[in-house]
Structure 1
Amino acid sequence: MRVRGFIALSLGALAALTAAAPAGAGDVLTGTLKKIKDSGAVTLGYRESSLPFSFLDGTGKPVGYAIDLCLDVVDDIAAEIGRPDLAIRYEPVTSENRIPAVTSGRIDIECGSTTANPERRRQVAFSPVTYLSATKLLVRRDSPVKSFRDLAGRTVAVTAGTTNEGALRTLFAQLKIPATIVTGRDHAESFAMVKDGRADALGLDDILLYGLIAGAGPEGAAYTVLPDKLSFEPYGLMFRKDDPEFAGLVSGTFTRIAESRELRWLYEKWFLKRLPNGERLNVPMSDELRTSFQVIGLQD
C-alpha cells in the first residue's frame, strides 16, 4: 500500500475512533467499561507463541509488545472508572477462537497479532494500527523452495483461523499451484510441522516468522524467510464493536503514548532490544508504521 493511501486510511480510522470520547466521571458508563467496573476486573486475551507481540516468558507469564499496549489501556480504564484496584485477568486464545472470545465477552481486549481487515471489522473493533506485516514463507535454508512458485506438489503449513491461510488458498487457486495446505492449532505447532518434515514451508506474517526463528535459539539458524510478500497485514488490538465509549478510551490511550513517545520506546523494546530469551529481532520501524504513529501524535 502506498504511504499516501495508508495515511488516508489511518486518518479515517482515527476519525472514527475519536468520534466519541470516553465518558466523563459523572456520566453513566455503558458497554465494556460498565462490565469492567461492575466486575472489578479486565480480562486480556493473549497468545502463547506470537512472539514478540504476545507470548509466554520462561516463567509462564504473558508478555510482549501487544501485552504492554493493552496494559497502557488498562491504566486508562482504571482511571476512567475510578478503580485503582482494578484486577487484570489473562485468558489464552488461539487464532480460531479469539474473535468469539471477544464477541462473547470472555475477554475484553485481545492482545495479540490480529489483522484488522474489513471482514473482521464487521464483527469486532480495532485500535489504531500497532504494526504492519505481510504474509511470507519460512523454509529450511537447504530447501529447494526459493519462492512460492516452487510449492507445486509440496505441503505448506499455516495456523488455523489466520488471514495467511485465506491468502495462500487464494494465491494457489489463482495461479493453479497444486500445493497442499495443512493447519496447526497455533504458530508453534505450525512451525513444528516444518521442523519434523510434515511441511515444506510455513506461511505466516513475516514478523511472527522472525519471532519463531528467534525463539528457536541456535536451531533457528537452520531456517530463513523468503522475500515474497503475499498479503498486507495491519495489526490492531481487538475489542467489542458498537461501543463508542470504549473505542474512545482506546484511541485516547494511543494518542497519549504516541505524544509521550512511549509508543516508540515500546517498539524499540520488543523489536530492537534483547527479548526475554536473549535473542534480538533487529526489525527497524518501517516508514509506513512511523507514518501511522505520526498521525496519532508521535513526534520525531
Structure 2
Amino acid sequence: MFGTFKSALFAGILGAMALAPVAATADQLTEILDKGTIVIGVPENFPPFGSVGASFEHEGYDVDIAKLIAEDLGVELELKPITSKQRIPFLTSGTVDLVVSSMGANPERAKSVWFSSAYAPFFSGAFAAPDVDVSSPKDLAGLKAGVTGGTIEDLELSKALPEGAELIRFGDNAATLSAYLAGQVDVLVTGNTVAAKLAANNPDQSLETKFVVRQSPAFIGVKSGEANMLQWVNVFVLHKKLGGVLNELSLKWLGQELPDLPSL
C-alpha cells in the first residue's frame, strides 16, 4: 500500500513539473529586438574610426558600422563613445551590447569576451605616391623610407630591410609625417589610419598602400556566452563584405580597397 502511495506521489510530482513554466534563458539578441534599442560602444576619439566631426556629430568607420547594425536589426541605435580601456569592462558589465571600436583580437582578451569575424582593416604599412614602384620590402632598395623610431612598423620592417634601402627614423609621428610631406623620404611607413588622415588633410597628396608590414584587423566585441548574438553579427559582417559595403566604407574612411579579412 505504501509502495502504491509512493508511486502515485512520484507521478503527481512529475505531472506538476511538466505543467510548471520553464524559466527561459536570457538571450541578448531577443532582448534587443523586444526592447527596440541597441547600445553600441564606438571610439571616443580615434579618427577615422570614430570621433566628433565638423557637424559636431560622432562619425567614422565604426560609427557607420554601428548604424548599419541597428538598421539591419530594425532597432534604434544608442551610440556610446568609449576609450580603449573601457571596451571590455563596458561589454562584460552590460553597459553596452556590442563594441565596434577598432578592437584587435588576442588570446588574453578572448578570456573575457567573444569576437566576431574581422570587419575592418587595421595594419601597419608602407605608403607612397602612385608613381613610386614599391610592392614589397625588397623594392625599397635605393629609396628612403621614413618611420617613427621604436614603433611596431620600425621593428617589423627592420627585419626585412634590403641592402641599399635607407630607413630614416624620426622622434614622433608628427616629425615622420612632416618629413614625408617635405619630400625628405620617398616612402612613409606608418599605420593605415595615420596615412588615411594624412591623405584627408592633404588632398594634393596621392597616397597609396604599397605593402602591409603587419596586419592587426578589427573585430566586433560580443558579450561572452551570447551565441545567438555572435552568430547574427558574423552573418552581418559576411553580408556587408559580400555586398561590397565594407569595401565602400574602407574607401570612404581609409582611402583604400578592403583587403582580405580573417574569419573566426
TM-score by length of 1: 0.53
- Equivalent of 1:284 in 214, 234, 257: 257
Where 1:127 maps in the other structure, the secondary structure is: strand
User: Within 5 A, what are the aligned runs for 1:1-300?
Assistant: 30-33=26-29, 35-36=31-32, 40-78=36-74, 86-136=75-125, 146=145, 167=152, 205-206=191-192, 208-217=193-202, 230-259=213-242, 261=243, 264-268=244-248, 270-273=249-252, 281-286=254-259, 288-289=260-261
**Higher RCO, 1 vs 2 (CA within 8 Å, ≥6 residues apart):** 1
CA offset at residue 42 of structure 1? 1.2
Query: CA 1:39–1:282 in structure 2 vs 1: closer, same or farther (change >3 Å)?
Result: closer
**One-letter code aligned to 2:214:** S
Aligned residue in 2 for 1:188: none
Distance 2:71 2:24 in 1: 20
Distance 1:132 1:99 in 2: 20
Distance 2:208 2:86 in 1: 27
CA offset at residue 90 of structure 1? 1.2
Where 2:121 maps in the other structure, the secondary structure is: strand
Q: Name the one with the larger strand percent.
A: 2
Native 8 Å contact 2:119 2:237 kept in 1: no
- How many pairs does the alignment contain? 214
**One-letter code aligned to 1:267:** N
Distance 1:57 1:250 in 2: 27
Q: Mark the structure with the bigger radius of gyration.
A: 2
Native 8 Å contact 1:55 1:63 kept in 2: yes
CA offset at residue 92 of structure 1? 1.0
Native 8 Å contact 1:72 1:253 kept in 2: no
**One-letter code aligned to 2:117:** P
Native 8 Å contact 2:246 2:258 kept in 1: no
Query: CA 1:33–1:226 in structure 2 vs 1: closer, same or farther (change >3 Å)?
Result: closer
Where 2:258 maps in the other structure, the secondary structure is: coil
CA offset at residue 63 of structure 1? 2.7
TM-score by length of 2: 0.59
Native 8 Å contact 2:98 2:222 kept in 1: yes
Native 8 Å contact 1:147 1:226 kept in 2: no
Query: CA 1:237–1:181 in structure 2 vs 1: closer, same or farther (change >3 Å)?
Result: farther
Native 8 Å contact 1:66 1:237 kept in 2: no
Distance 2:48 2:114 in 1: 22
- 5+ residue gaps, structure 2, are 1-22, 128-143, 160-168, 179-187
Q: CA RMSD in A?
A: 4.5
- 5+ residue gaps, structure 1, are 1-26, 79-85, 139-144, 157-164, 183-190, 197-201, 276-280
